[in-house]
Structure 1
Amino acid sequence: MITQEDFQALTKKYQDGSCSPQELQQLENWYNKKGKNNPNGELPDDVWEDDVERFLQTFDSESGKQQKGARINWPLNILLAAAAIAIIGTFSTLLFKRTAITPTQYAVDVDPGGNKATLTLSNGKKIELSEAKAGIVVDASKLTYTDGTLINNERAQSFTISTPRGGTYQVRLPDGSTAWLNAASSLTYNSSLKGKEQYRNVKLLGEAYFEVAKDKEHPFVVTTDKQRIEVLGTHFNVSAYNDELSVKTTLLEGSVKVASLTTTGSETKGVILRPSQQSVLNSNGISVHQIDPTIAIAWKNGEFIFMDERLESIMQKIARWYNVEVIYADKEIANRPFSGFISKYEKVSQVLCLLEATGDVKFKIEGRRIMVKP
């Protein structure tokens, strides 16, 4: 149990640069317990609010990025993310989520994405899924939305669910596993396979987060263009966009086997991931890194979280979610690193405004095109 005095001592240690990962974990454990009765993530005590507010304002002042007149929204999970960013290494700037920021320099704006997807059945029939629903449930006899509303009486033996740029959707598979699709992604399910892969095999293009139902007799297999993942029951995220140089698999719970695929489709010797590990597959092969997995699934939780990430990578995520085109006036700026966070459900101007607050980059919105300038 952490007390107010403990919190004050830990934040002082953070300001001194001596806060350890174990001490951050202590704060996180406290937050997880308190947060159950506190869905918005706000601390329940006004005195605590003052403590956290002062801490963030001090950090802002020290980093030289304080914006006068802008009040900080400071849920403790964001405080922990901020501290983690600082501990992990150098960063260009830390972007605190703020209110009352009016991006007046933008004459036009773009709304965030939402629940959008198309379901294509094995007979070729296409169903545009409701934007008012969050996901679908597939079983042997019918298709329904997650709230029980009937979609179709046809049996979905095989299907592909696809999200456009600016879209996301959830699908519960017949074995009880659930997948959340990110923007510009597709998931293909085929129940006609035989042997150990029957009923538990999907192909992914793009990005998805999986919560796999346990079944020791039948491994669950996710195949992308470049790799194969095999699990029995676990939670993990896969990012396999064709326009990115690497495929990333991040494990939250359980264990998974990740193997690369040759050009002929044969599987190479793989690696076993443990919780909080991420495999990165690129032209040099597969490497494994210890990371904070909550960053990898921030998109699924409605957030952008960047940690010392290249601007080009950040703008790729923005382009997919807001369905915009990004153009660089100077390509060199694309390599600059940024760290920070903001809700995915803000208008694009709010995201750009926070990036601009660093003084290192400028943006211009023209319809669905964003110009990036130094």
Structure 2
Amino acid sequence: MEKALLEKFIEGGCTPEEARQVSQWLLEHPDALDTILNNTWAEPVTALMPADMESSLRVSLPLQTTGTTAEAPVYQLPHNRSAGRYRWYAAAAVVLLLVGGWWMARSLNNADNSGTNALVTVTVPAGKMYKLTLPDESTVWLKGNTQLKYDAKQFGIITRHVELMSGEAFFDVQRNAEHPFVVEQGGVRTTVLGTSFSVKAATDKNAAVITVATGKISVSHHTKELEVLTQGRQLVVNAQTGHYTVSQVPVWMASAFKDSVVQLNAASFGELQQALQQFCNIQLQTNQQQVKQQRYTIQLNRSTPVKDLMDVLCLLNQNQYHRKNDSTYIIY
């Protein structure tokens, strides 16, 4: 494969036939991109890559697929980073996005593509997170230990249907009144036209959890509609019996697993406890009623050291704290 043709493909200048040929060649030669990158990195360094370019590149690299499991990127930035080489490294990321998506659909197909089904299964390993763009441009963030299925051929023809087999996912759905978006999880069905929400799959020990960030959704158990949920409403349902409860929760809880920052405004002590548990893996406790009645306005960031976070937290209401163990803090 000529480098010029690959470059043309990356820049979007190929004819449909050329694009098909390049994509097919890349799929049949999985080590080709490594070879191209290695040759490119072997060229003399003329200028270092700007730091902002490197940061942009690092966050843009996608997950790849091996078999049925999404894995972390395998390419590493070398110590000497040429600005001229950045273009080809960014190009590699684009190729992985374009071809990787096709490879996922092709290699994970559980049915004959010549028929009416083309079942795609996306599996994310523990400790990872994967961002998936569906054919209608809706976006799904999949937490570690999550598996999602959808039919690439039938998606959007009558409904936009996906099945959450396990784990937790956050959906940001494109509005389409003619084709409702449906998430199946066991016997629990969530139907929307356009909104954002999360679904946590039921397990043997835990019920399914549906939380709405924006818009409105309908939740049913088999053929029985359970509830219509709006922003900040959370439904917890037993997938076997259909028994459910509904409560009001902070909106940030819908997307907590995928976000790195949350802003609390006049939050109650209970909400603060939930946020610290979700974002910082901290158990916050108190025995004082006065502390429980206080309000908290603070931005939590996963990357903030715990000591710095607790110091700032106590400054808000002139409190003090001590550490009970590695994950539990007592505030007073």
TM-score (norm 2): 0.50
Counterparts of 1:363 and 1:241 in 2: how far apart (Å)?
Answer: 34
* Alignment match, 2:327: 370
3-state secondary structure, aligned to 2:225: coil
* Alignment match, 1:346: 303
Residue 237 (1) aligns with residue 186 (2) = no
Counterparts of 1:311 and 1:301 in 2: how far apart (Å)?
Answer: 16
Q: Taking CA–CA contacts closer than 8 Å with sequence separation of 6 or more, which of the two structures ends up with the larger relative contact order?
A: 1
Alignment counterpart, residue 285 of structure 1, candidates 207, 229, 244 = 244
Higher helix share: 2
Counterparts of 1:277 and 1:327 in 2: how far apart (Å)?
Answer: 23
- Cα contact 1:162–1:186 (8 A) shared by 2: yes
- Cα contact 1:119–1:127 (8 A) shared by 2: yes
Question: Taking structure 1 as reference, are residues 339 and 281 closer, same or farther at Cα in structure 2, changes over 3 Å only?
Answer: farther
- Cα contact 2:160–2:182 (8 A) shared by 1: no
3-state secondary structure, aligned to 2:311: helix
Q: Which residue identity is paired with 1:347? A: T
TM-score (norm 1): 0.45
- Cα contact 2:159–2:182 (8 A) shared by 1: no
Counterparts of 1:116 and 1:332 in 2: how far apart (Å)?
Answer: 47
3-state secondary structure, aligned to 2:135: coil
* Alignment match, 2:209: 247
- Cα contact 1:120–1:126 (8 A) shared by 2: yes
1:268 deviation in Å?
3.1
Counterparts of 2:305 and 2:158 in 1: how far apart (Å)?
Answer: 42
Among all aligned residue pairs of Structure 1 and Structure 2, give the percentage whose two residues are the same amino acid. 17
3-state secondary structure, aligned to 2:141: strand
Question: Taking structure 1 as reference, are residues 116 and 303 closer, same or farther at Cα in structure 2, changes over 3 Å only?
Answer: farther
User: Which consecutive unaligned segments of at least 5 residues does structure 2 have?
Assistant: 1-58, 77-89, 110-119
- Cα contact 2:173–2:195 (8 A) shared by 1: yes
1:245 deviation in Å?
7.2
Counterparts of 1:127 and 1:223 in 2: how far apart (Å)?
Answer: 21
1:210 deviation in Å?
1.9
Residue 268 (1) aligns with residue 229 (2) = no
* Alignment match, 2:21: none
1:360 deviation in Å?
5.9
3-state secondary structure, aligned to 2:279: helix
Larger radius of gyration: 2
- Cα contact 2:323–2:329 (8 A) shared by 1: yes
3-state secondary structure, aligned to 1:171: strand
1:203 deviation in Å?
0.7
Residue 256 (1) aligns with residue 235 (2) = no
How many pairs were matched up?
228
Query: What is the CA RMSD across the aligned residues, in angstroms?
Result: 4.8
